[in-house]
Amino acid sequence: MTRTGIRDRAVMISATPPTTPRLRLESTGARRSLLDGGWWPRSSDPVAELPGLILAIDARRGPVIRLLLARGDWVSHPGRLGVAGRVVRLGYFVSQPAGLLTAVCGNRSRVDLLVVPPDTAGDTAGAAMLVAATAGNLIHAQDILLSLKKPAAGATERAPEAVWDTEGGRLAAA
């Protein structure tokens, strides 16, 4: 049996009012996609960032009762968060893919969101949230930002055939 300390049972409450989240949700609510949308928090502080997100999900999909988060995405790991007069349980898992947040709602539905790192450039963050909120998206959260990376300006990728021709009939090591 595992003991829980007082700190594990403490309810954290943000000292500032919830901000309007930078959130994009798939509009139909269809479950044919891997993700329901994307969210771009302003920081990696869960106490500051999660209340606004929880309230936005409440309004669209029903009251959030629990969040499952990737442990490495956040600077602290409170287990309970006070939001709108109730307590939302938070779980941080090393097994949760980086960049994925799952909200479990009281009506037994769930919302899976891409979490775009706070320091991401605005155009890249917007594109990532659009991909995550597109109906039929089949790209996993941890792969969306990688799929948007472009080669550096002026860099050209050589086809294996071109390497073969210029390297004397040997493929260059990648």
| Residue 70 CB-density burial (10 A; 0-12 exposed, 13-18 middle, 19+ buried) | buried
Query: Residue 57 above 80 pLDDT?
Result: yes
Residue 99 — very low, low, confident or very high, per pLDDT cuts 50/70/90?
A: very high
Contact 42, 118 (CB under 8 A): yes
Instruction: Name which of 48-52, 108-112, 165-169 the model is least confident about.
Output: 165-169
Residue 165 — very low, low, confident or very high, per pLDDT cuts 50/70/90?
A: very low
Residue 75 — very low, low, confident or very high, per pLDDT cuts 50/70/90?
A: very high
Kindly report the average pLDDT of the chain as a whole number: 84
Give one word for 84, left, alpha or beta, with left for phi > 0 and alpha for psi -120 to 50: left
What proportion of the chain, given as a percentage, has pLDDT over 90?
Answer: 63
The predicted model gives 32-46 an average pLDDT of 92
Better pLDDT: 57 or 165: 57
Residue 27 — very low, low, confident or very high, per pLDDT cuts 50/70/90?
A: confident
Angle between helices 141-148 and 122-132 (to 10 degrees): 130
Domain boundaries defined on the chain: 8-147
Query: Residue 33 above 50 pLDDT?
Result: yes
